[in-house]
């Protein structure tokens, strides 16, 4: 290959030649002059040759650039996909025909690209590649790539230009949509009250009822090309596509209504609990997730579907009252299991919810008795009594001073609890609502006993869970468990009164949420020495509480024809108690099916909700961050503005009513 030299490459050659000529001139002047003339001529020819080659090189490069510009322009003008160029202000300065054909307008020059494609995001950096994105134009999907070009050093008045090119993405999008639509979803179904419903059916209709249950469930999913397998009398496993699940969600799982309407002489209606996995899992993970969702549906009282969606859940149904289970096997098994856990623990800490009520403190006292019966150290964690439990705490001081010494605050509990301690949560299953959430992190051994419907927030991996939404109160559940944990209850009269007060407050004197087992628990406590006169004295109010309830009645207004909303304007130690009791009393007004009372408390707004019939205040409270039962729920909002809280409440009620119309 011919090599080109520049002047720098020839410097040494000319220097050596010049020295040689000088030496010749010195030794032989005549000969030296001849060589000097030859040297000068060669030097001149070399400079001319170098200049010529430099000119040729520049012309060669210019020709290449010209050809490259022609190729580039020709390539851009003839690209088989839409192209558009914008300036730094997002204005269109050039586009090809394919880009223009995507729009109905014939003149889009100088328009902002973001007005045609709202998803377009421009960048301030001249070197940054704008992120790839997708757009839909006239039912076509495009994947848009872009690049920023710095033109500030050219003759252009602009600083930069942005080139967007649109790649047809229809085939990929269709394939992806099909992949999503056909992705398998796992569903687990349980008939909540199968045994009770069958037992309540005339014997000659029982085979028909069983067959109808199978038929309704199988035919329902058959319409969605799903695979249904019954693997137990009351359990079903379903595999269906994600697109079918979306359709079912759009119909709000109307299978729940179909089965509830089944009547073959059964006096107890049939309900379903449905657990659904989320998208993007393998079969093993999906089965586990569906099982977890089913547990959540059962923990919330059944008659509902729970669908896992990323890191949260969607709930459908749950508008009927949980049916009482007459089978006491579960209570016996869990009672024995709790006894074994107590025996194996170094000590036991019992904790209710913040702003403890009679059921919370009463059930805690009952569990403490179970611990003492096993000769173990036990403590009730209570930071500060509130007006709703002041009477029972004062009576404990007087009648049971040794028991009162076992009521400790958070500091004592946090400094004494160990990984070998047992923590028992009563009347609550949300960690954030416990008397001291930090205790949950101190021990892996946690037991939950509660009658509230389970929400999405829950303790991770409790060793024992007893959540029964059908129960009137946690005190009822604890009373039942006590009968299986020891041959003799050993309840003092005070402890029996405490448990009875828990049942009384949550049943509104045995008028709401009561079942056969509620009265059985009450009779057990009565035999243990519970005195209804003394229990009633625990609920006596002071004058300020009575005046507060009168204010709530005065402030009441009716919305949506049959829903009462009221408020307590000033904050006090009794605010929560007054709002709860007032909500109960507002239900006594004719034609009122639900009541909501707001009250300021601890820089928050507390809302107590009550209802009768099939109006679920639980679902309404969950929409704004609370929870509870079908006909008894509450929430704390992070605002002290009652008008703002009322606006959120009315919005949640309106949303609930609209869902009921679907």
Nearest to 468 by CA among 246, 281, 302, 247: 302
Q: What is the pLDDT of residue 77?
A: 63
**Over the stretch 83-115, which tens digit does the pLDDT of each residue have?**
888 888 888 888 887 888 887 777 788 888 877
- Give the pLDDT confidence score for residue 574 in this predicted structure: 84
Within-domain flag for 1: no
In terms of DSSP bridges, do strands 160-168 and 140-150 run parallel, antiparallel, or are they unpaired? Answer: antiparallel
Query: How is the beta sheet containing 272-276 ordered, strand by strand?
Result: 227-232, 235-241, 184-191, 272-276, 304-309, 312-317
Domain end, chosen from 177, 206, 225, is at 177
Locus of tokens 């005046």: 547
- Based on the domain organization, do 383 and 511 belong to the same domain? yes
Q: Does residue 288 fall inside a structural domain?
A: yes
Verify that 533 and 553 share a domain, yes or no: no
Are 447 and 558 found together in one domain? no
- Whether residue 323 is contained in a domain is answered as no
Element holding 589 (H helix, E strand): none
114 in Cβ contact with 120 (< 8 Å): yes
359 among the known binding-site residues? yes
* Domain of 66, in residue numbers: 7-77
Predicted TM-score (pTM) of this structure: 0.65
pLDDT value of residue 177: 87
Compute CA distances 558 → 52, 331, 566, 579, 592, whole Å. Answer: 100, 42, 9, 17, 8
Q: Is 192 annotated as a binding residue?
A: no
Q: Are residues 172 and 189 in the same domain?
A: no
Give me the count of residues in the chain.
Answer: 662
185 contacts 242 by C-beta, under 8 angstroms: yes
Q: Is 353 annotated as a binding residue?
A: yes
Domain assignment of residue 218, yes or no: yes
State whether 56 and 41 are in the same domain.
yes
* 2 lies in some domain: no
Q: Are 313 and 419 in contact (CB under 8 A)?
A: no
Q: Are residues 313 and 338 in the same domain?
A: no
Contact 147, 163 (CB under 8 A): yes
Based on the domain organization, do 527 and 467 belong to the same domain? yes
pLDDT at 313: 85
In a domain, 530, yes or no: yes
* Radius of gyration in angstroms for the set of CA atoms belonging to the chain, rounded to a whole number: 40
41 and 148 together in one domain: no
Same-domain status, 368 and 403: yes
| 157, 177, 197 - which closes a domain | 177
322 within domain boundaries: no
pLDDT of amino acid 2: 47
497 and 372 belong to one structural domain: yes
Q: With a cut of 70, which residues of the chain have pLDDT below it?
A: 1-11, 60-78, 118-131, 153-156, 319-327, 613, 661-662
Look at residue 76 in the predicted model and tell me its pLDDT. 62
* CATH (domain of 463): 3.90.1640.10
- Residue 212: which CATH number? 3.30.70.270
**Do both 51 and 70 map to the same domain?**
yes
Provide the CATH number for the domain around residue 135: 3.30.450.20
13: tokens are: 């050659």
Q: Which residues of 290-315 are buried (b: 16+ CB within 10 A; e: fewer)?
A: bebbbbbbbbbbbbbbbbbeeeebeb
> Given CA atoms 215, 220, 225, 228 in this order, what sign does their dihedral have?
negative
357 annotated to a ligand binding site: yes
Q: Are residues 526 and 573 in the same domain?
A: no
**CA–CA distance, 70 with 47 (Å, rounded to integer):** 35
Q: What end-to-end distance do the CA atoms of the chain give, in Å?
A: 84
Distance CA 580, CA 38 (A): 118
**Does the residue 566 lie in any domain?**
yes
**Is 506 assigned a ligand-binding role in the annotation?**
yes
- Of the candidates 317, 345, 365, which is a domain's last residue? 317
Domains: count for the chain: 5
pLDDT one-digit tens code per residue, 421-478: 999 999 999 998 899 999 999 988 999 999 988 877 888 888 999 988 888 999 999 9
């Amino acid at each position: 290959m011919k090599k080109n030299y520049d002047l720098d490459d020839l410097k040494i050659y000319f220097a050596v030649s010049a020295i040689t000529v000088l030496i010749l001139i010195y030794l032989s002047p005549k000969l030296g002059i001849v060589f000097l003339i030859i040297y000068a001529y060669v030097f001149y020819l070399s400079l001319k040759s170098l200049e010529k080659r430099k000119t040729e090189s520049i012309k060669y490069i210019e020709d290449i650039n010209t050809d490259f510009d022609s190729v580039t322009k020709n390539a851009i003008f003839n690209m088989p996909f839409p192209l558009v160029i914008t300036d730094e202000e997002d204005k269109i300065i050039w586009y090809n025909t394919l880009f223009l054909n995507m729009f109905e307008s014939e003149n889009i020059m100088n328009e902002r690209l973001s007005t045609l494609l709202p998803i377009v995001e421009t960048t301030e950096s001249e070197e940054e590649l704008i992120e790839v994105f997708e757009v839909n134009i006239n039912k076509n999907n495009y994947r848009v790539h872009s690049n920023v070009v710095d033109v500030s050093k050219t003759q252009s008045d602009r600083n930069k230009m942005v080139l967007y090119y649109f790649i047809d993405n229809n085939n990929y999008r269709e394939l992806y949509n099909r992949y999503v639509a056909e992705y398998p979803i796992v569903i687990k179904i349980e008939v909540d009250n199968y045994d009770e419903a069958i037992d309540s059916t005339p014997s000659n209709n029982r085979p028909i009822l069983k067959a109808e249950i199978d038929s309704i469930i199988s035919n329902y999913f058959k319409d969605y090309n799903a695979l249904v397998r019954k693997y137990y009398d009351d359990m079903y496993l379903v595999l269906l596509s994600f697109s079918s699940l979306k359709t079912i969600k759009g119909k709000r799982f109307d299978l729940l209504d179909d089965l509830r309407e089944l009547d073959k002489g059964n006096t107890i209606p049939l309900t379903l609990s449905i657990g659904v996995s989320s998208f993007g899992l393998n079969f093993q993970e999906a089965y586990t997730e569906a099982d977890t969702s089913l547990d959540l549906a059962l923990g919330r009282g059944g008659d509902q579907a729970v669908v896992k969606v990323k890191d949260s859940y969607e709930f459908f149904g749950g508008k009927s009252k949980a049916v009482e289970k007459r089978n006491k096997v579960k209570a016996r098994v869990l009672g024995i299991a709790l006894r074994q856990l107590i025996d194996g623990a170094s000590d036991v800490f019992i904790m209710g919810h913040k702003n403890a009520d009679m059921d919370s403190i009463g059930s805690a006292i009952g569990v403490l008795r179970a611990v003492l019966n096993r000769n173990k150290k036990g403590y009730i964690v209570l930071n500060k009594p509130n007006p709703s439990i002041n009477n029972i705490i004062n009576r404990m001081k007087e009648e049971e001073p040794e028991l009162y010494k076992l009521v400790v605050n958070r500091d004592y509990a946090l400094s004494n609890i160990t990984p070998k301690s047992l923590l028992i949560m009563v009347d609550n299953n949300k960690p954030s609502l416990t008397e001291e959430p930090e205790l949950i992190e101190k021990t892996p051994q946690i037991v939950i006993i509660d009658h509230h419907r389970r929400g999405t927030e829950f303790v991770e991996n409790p060793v024992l869970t007893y959540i029964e939404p059908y129960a009137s109160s946690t005190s009822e559940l604890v009373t039942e468990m006590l009968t299986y944990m020891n041959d003799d209850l050993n309840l003092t009269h005070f402890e029996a009164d405490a448990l009875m007060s828990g049942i009384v407050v949550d049943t509104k004197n045995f008028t709401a949420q009561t079942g056969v087992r509620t009265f059985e628990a009450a009779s057990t406590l009565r035999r243990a020495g519970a005195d209804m006169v003394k229990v009633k004295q625990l609920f006596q109010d002071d004058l300020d509480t009575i005046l507060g309830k009168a204010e709530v009645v005065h402030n009441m207004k009716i919305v949506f024809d049959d829903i009462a909303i009221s408020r307590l304007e000033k904050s006090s130690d009794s605010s929560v108690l007054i709002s709860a009791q007032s909500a109960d009393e507002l239900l006594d007004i004719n034609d009122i099916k639900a009541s909501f009372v707001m009250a300021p408390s601890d820089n928050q707004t507390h809302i107590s909700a009550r209802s009768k019939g099939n109006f679920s205040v639980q679902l309404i409270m969950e929409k704004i961050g609370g929870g509870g039962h079908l006909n008894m729920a509450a929430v704390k909002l992070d605002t002290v503005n009652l008008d703002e809280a009322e606006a959120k409440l009315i919005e949640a009620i309106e949303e609930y009513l609209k869902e009921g119309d679907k």
